[in-house]
Amino acid sequence: ALGPFFGEMSRLSDELVGGRITDRQYVARAGDRLMELELEEDVLAAWWKQGPDDKGVGRNGTRVLHKRALPFEGRPGAAIVVLFYTPAGTTNPPHEHHNLMSCKRVLKGSYHVRQYERVRRVEPGVIAIRQITELPDVTFGGPYIAMTDDRLNVHWFGARAGAEPVLALNIVVTNAR
Residues 92-118 pLDDT 10s: 888 887 778 889 999 888 999 999 988
Band (pLDDT 50/70/90 cuts) for residue 126 is confident
- Phi and psi angles of residue 39, each rounded to the nearest 5 degrees, phi first: -120, 140
What confidence score (pLDDT) does residue 120 get? 86
Band (pLDDT 50/70/90 cuts) for residue 57 is very low
What confidence score (pLDDT) does residue 21 get? 92
- The residues, ordered by sequence, that sit 6+ positions from 142 with a Cβ below 8 Å of its Cβ are 35, 105
Peptide bond preceding 52 in cis form (omega within 30 of 0): no
What confidence score (pLDDT) does residue 25 get? 93
What confidence score (pLDDT) does residue 174 get? 79
